[in-house]
Amino acid sequence: MIPLSIPKIEGNESKYVLDCLNTGWISSAGSYVNQFEEMVANYAGAKYGVACMNGTAGLHIAQVLLGVTENDHVIAPNITFIATLNAIKYTGATPILIDVNADDWQMDLELLVNYLNDQTELRTTAAGTFSYDTTTNKRVRAIMPVHVLGNMGDMDSLVAIAKTYHLDIIEDAAEALGSTFENKHAGTFGKIGVFSFNGNKIISTGGGGVIVTDDEALAKRARHLTTQAKISAMDYIHDAIGYNYRLVNVLAAIGVAQMETFPEALKAKKAMDAFYRSELEGVGDIKFQEIPEGTNPNCWLFTFSTSRMRELLEYLNANGVQSRPFWMPMNQLEMFKDDRYITKNDVSASVYQNSISIPSSAGITQEQLETVVRIIRELYEM
Ligand SMILES: Cc1ncc(COP(=O)(O)O)c(C=O)c1O
């Protein structure tokens, strides 16, 4: 089977892991964790990085850091991996789901503005001026753009919208290490960005995440909350409900090695993307995800649309090519079906019905790429 997206482990991973094992530094304290945080933050151009067990934990902590509670709404796109929505729900907040663009599958900013214009109002209290949803009277506290598949929408417009409506931005940059918009890295447009290092990501720690921010106080608080909010080095005294979310040294060791080879992984992804685009152009009714002007994506997972998605999915998997459908839109899932969904034509539903992801590992060989293309073409030529 040609796998969908697996890690490439060809650098210093085993050396660094062995170092942890030999020195006994396998747990949540250890130099690799600090080094990994620094490497990720530096790469993204952020001042601080805080490593977590996984991206989901990072997204959860991001909400907690900004004070999101059950009295709030958080805006998110309707097409995303479920972790985005779970992180919102962990705080008790209610998501507002926004439909996506038909071409790049990112949050539809026109619909976002429609919602903010028509269904919220700015109110000033002693705490400041904020947007409130006029139906629920809840504060609309934050917006979570998701850089779907490592692609990025128009972040300049999104930042301007957030400013106008007094919203914080938490970027779900789980899939977007290496992606930029106007030469600015994903995860650095708002107060907080979160990367994932899950096994299927562009580089991996097995499981892991890093929160990035330029705000020293937020970074300190993130480190505090992810380590059980302990205030004394000696005594077990804690000043908040904390979390056991810190990444362990042995996994961070893998991360350090993966970061060392990241430029190669990024290059391989871009070559894979270029190959698929040139070889699948004009095959059947295949339509590629569009890349907005100004975006330089990391080309994490090659995904395209076709009306024959289900048929192709079965054919590829039956012929040794691991392929997957796209995420079911959030509004179609039982847990979120009662949450507000802002849409005109339910683009999410058609993106879901027609999109398929194909093998995209950083270590995919030319022979494997050619096999994938040949099998796809076969179906359309039958
Ligand atoms: C868009 C998105 N958000 C969040 C996550 C959660 O990250 P993790 O699996 O590291 O918890 C992922 C990936 O798994 C993702 O793709």
Q: Are residues 251 and 294 in the same domain?
A: no
Task: Average the pLDDT over 265-289 and give the result.
Answer: 98
Task: Average the pLDDT over 170-191 and give the result.
Answer: 98
Query: Considering the domain boundaries, does residue 197 fall inside one?
Result: yes
The pLDDT assigned to 165 comes to 98
Residue nearest to atom 4 of ligand 1 (CA): 83
Query: Considering the domain boundaries, does residue 6 fall inside one?
Result: no
Q: Are residues 40 and 178 in the same domain?
A: yes
As given in the structure block, the two tokens for residue 250 are 């042995």
Q: Are residues 171 and 127 in the same domain?
A: yes
pLDDT in tens, 204-246: 999 999 999 999 999 999 999 999 999 999 999 999 999 999 9
Task: Average the pLDDT over 112-121 and give the result.
Answer: 98
Pick the last residue of a domain from 232, 260, 288. Answer: 260
Query: Considering the domain boundaries, does residue 3 fall inside one?
Result: no
Q: Are residues 185 and 76 in the same domain?
A: yes
Query: Considering the domain boundaries, does residue 7 fall inside one?
Result: no
Taking the centre of ligand 1 as the mean of its atom positions, its distance from the CA of residue 125, in whole angstroms, is 36
In SS3 terms, 132-153 reads as EECCCCCEEEEECCECHHHCCC
Query: Considering the domain boundaries, does residue 5 fall inside one?
Result: no
Q: Do 305 and 335 touch, CB atoms closer than 8 A?
A: no
Q: State the Cα–Cα distance between residues 192 and 169, nearest whole angstrom.
A: 7
Q: Are residues 304 and 240 in the same domain?
A: no
The count of structural domains within the chain is: 2
Q: What is the number of the ligand 1 atom nearest to the C-alpha of 172?
A: 3
Taking the centre of ligand 1 as the mean of its atom positions, its distance from the CA of residue 371, in whole angstroms, is 29
The pLDDT assigned to 151 comes to 98
Instruction: Choose, from 8, 89, 138, 201, the residue flagged as catalytic.
Output: 201
Task: Average the pLDDT over 291-305 and give the result.
Answer: 98
Pick the last residue of a domain from 219, 235, 260. Answer: 260
**For the domain that residue 318 is a member of, what is the CATH number?**
3.90.1150.10
As given in the structure block, the two tokens for residue 64 are 């907690």
Q: Are residues 269 and 254 in the same domain?
A: no
Q: Is ligand 1 within 6 A of the CB of residue 198?
A: yes
pLDDT in tens, 183-196: 999 999 999 999 99
pLDDT in tens, 23-58: 999 998 899 999 999 999 999 999 999 999 999 999
Task: Average the pLDDT over 329-339 and give the result.
Answer: 97
The pLDDT assigned to 28 comes to 82
- Residue 250: which pLDDT band, with cuts at 50, 70 and 90? very high
Q: Is ligand 1 within 6 A of the CB of residue 259?
A: no
Task: Average the pLDDT over 93-118 and give the result.
Answer: 98
For the chain, give the mean pLDDT. Answer: 97
Range of the domain at 307: 262-381
Task: Average the pLDDT over 120-139 and give the result.
Answer: 97
Q: Is ligand 1 within 6 A of the CB of residue 172?
A: yes
Query: Considering the domain boundaries, does residue 8 fall inside one?
Result: no
Q: Are residues 147 and 135 in the same domain?
A: yes
DSSP assignment letter at 289: P
What is the dihedral sign for C-alpha 151, 253, 210, 185? Answer: negative
Q: Name 71's Cβ contacts closer than 8 Å, sequence gap at least 6.
A: 93, 138, 139
Q: Is ligand 1 within 6 A of the CB of residue 204?
A: no
Exposure string for 53-79, b = 16+ CB within 10 A, e = fewer: bbbbbbbbbbbbbbebeeebbbbbbbb
Q: Are residues 191 and 287 in the same domain?
A: no
Q: Is ligand 1 within 6 A of the CB of residue 56?
A: yes
- Residue 83: which pLDDT band, with cuts at 50, 70 and 90? very high
Q: Is ligand 1 within 6 A of the CB of residue 205?
A: no
Of 106, 144, 175, the one to substitute when testing ligand 1's pocket (max ligand atoms within 8 A of C-beta) is 175
Residue 201 among the catalytic residues: yes
Q: Are residues 314 and 329 in the same domain?
A: yes
Q: Is ligand 1 within 6 A of the CB of residue 80?
A: yes
Taking the centre of ligand 1 as the mean of its atom positions, its distance from the CA of residue 382, in whole angstroms, is 37
Pick the last residue of a domain from 221, 240, 260. Answer: 260
Q: What is the number of the ligand 1 atom nearest to the C-alpha of 57?
A: 11
